[in-house]
């Protein structure tokens, strides 16, 4: 069964909008685990506009499931991840002022850089994943970096799902087939939600993990985390 990792950046955004510690990020993370989440994802950015570096340091000791830290591997991020040593690090090529992640790595162009960074993390026993578009060539070059997994950037699928789900998922299936042939693990994330997640999970061979934040939090405003987490797990089963 595909594992569900919940991205809690939006919880941090809500907390930061008023100062103080409401909602309590650590309590939300542990509650999500108790409701069935199989991992927690955070994406600290240099301006710390949502997840702060101190949040990352405080979360790892209290979680009972996997911690996945996403981000652009600038020196400060590398130092943070090697200090915490989470279960997984996901490398994302986002600019400092990006609202959200909007593209995968050009794994051919940045191969040497990724090899160096991934080697550093693997020396600390951290599982590595890199954000890639559903392009077969990018998956093939990802293999050369030494990464353990790729995370398929699923925005294009989500945007085209209602119009033509089969066409929307087709490039992801091909990318997944290549990844499986190369023995690279497959994660996915970005704009997946309760409406489109089941079709995606059913069609992507050996999908190990999805990371969902914005949609899951928005759906939970109406339905509550305690209900939404099992709904995702049912769709992923």
Q: At residue 48, does pLDDT exceed 90?
A: no
pLDDT in the model for residue 108: 96
pLDDT given at position 96? 58
Other C-beta atoms lying within 10 Å of the C-beta of residue 71: 23
CB 25 within 8 A of CB 15: yes
Task: Name residues whose C-beta falls within 8 Å of residue 103's C-beta, 6 or more positions apart in sequence.
Answer: 93, 133, 153
The answer to whether the beta carbons of residues 104 and 77 sit under 8 Å apart is no
Binned at pLDDT 50, 70 and 90, residue 77 comes out as very high
Among 20-29, 42-51, 107-116, 148-157, which stretch is predicted with the lowest mean pLDDT?
42-51
Give the Cα separation of 188 and 37 in Å (integer): 16
Cis? peptide before 23, omega within 30° of 0: yes
Is pLDDT larger for residue 48 or for residue 179? 179
pLDDT band of residue 99 (cuts 50, 70, 90) is very low
Model confidence at 112: pLDDT above 90: yes
Q: Residues 111, 127, 32, CA angle at the centre, nearest 5°?
A: 125
3-state secondary structure of 3: strand
Residue 73 has pLDDT above 80, yes or no: yes
The whole-number pLDDT of residue 204 equals 98
The pLDDT of residue 95: 64
Would you say residue 143 has pLDDT above 60? yes
Predicted confidence band of residue 43 (pLDDT cuts 50, 70, 90): very high
Q: Average pLDDT, stretch 131-138?
A: 97
SS3 content of the chain, % helix, strand, coil (to 5): 45, 15, 35
- Is the pTM value of this prediction over 0.75? yes
Catalytic residues: 43, 70, 190
Query: If pLDDT is split at 50, 70 and 90, which confidence band does 102 have?
Result: low
At 223 the pLDDT is: 98
How far apart are alpha carbons 81 and 99 in whole angstroms? 22
Average pLDDT over residues 9-36: 96
Instruction: Give the pLDDT of residue 97.
Output: 54
Give me the pLDDT at residue 103, please: 79
Q: Tell me, what's the pLDDT at 164?
A: 98
CATH of the domain at 172: 3.20.20.70
Number of domains in the chain: 1
- CA atoms within 13 Å, Cβ hemisphere of 80: 27
Distance CA(27)–CA(4), nearest Å, equals: 18
Position 94 scores a pLDDT of 78
Identify the domain containing residue 214 by its residue range.
3-236
**pLDDT at residue 49, rounded to an integer:** 86
């Amino acid at each position: 069964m595909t594992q569900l990792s919940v991205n809690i950046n939006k919880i941090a955004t809500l907390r930061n909008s008023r100062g103080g510690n409401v909602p309590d990020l650590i309590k939300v993370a542990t509650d999500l685990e108790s409701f069935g989440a199989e991992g927690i994802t955070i994406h600290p950015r240099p301006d710390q506009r949502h997840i702060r570096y101190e949040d990352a340091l405080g979360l790892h000791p209290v979680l009972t499931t996997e911690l996945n830290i996403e981000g652009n591997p600038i020196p400060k991020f590398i130092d943070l991840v090697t200090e915490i040593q989470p279960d997984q690090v996901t490398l994302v090529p986002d600019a400092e002022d990006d609202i959200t992640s909007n593209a995968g790595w050009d794994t051919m162009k940045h191969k040497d850089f990724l090899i160096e960074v991934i080697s550093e993390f693997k020396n600390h026993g951290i599982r590595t994943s890199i954000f890639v578009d559903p392009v077969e060539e990018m998956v093939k070059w990802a293999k050369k970096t030494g990464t353990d997994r790729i995370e398929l950037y699923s925005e294009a699928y989500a945007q085209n799902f209602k119009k033509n789900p089969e066409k929307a998922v087709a490039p992801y299936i091909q990318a997944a087939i290549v990844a499986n042939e190369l023995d690279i693990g497959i994660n996915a994330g970005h704009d997946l939600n309760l409406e489109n997640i089941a079709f995606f999970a059913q069609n992507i061979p050996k999908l190990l993990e999805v990371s969902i934040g914005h949609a899951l939090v928005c759906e939970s405003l109406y339905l509550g985390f305690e209900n939404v987490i099992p709904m995702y797990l049912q769709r992923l089963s």
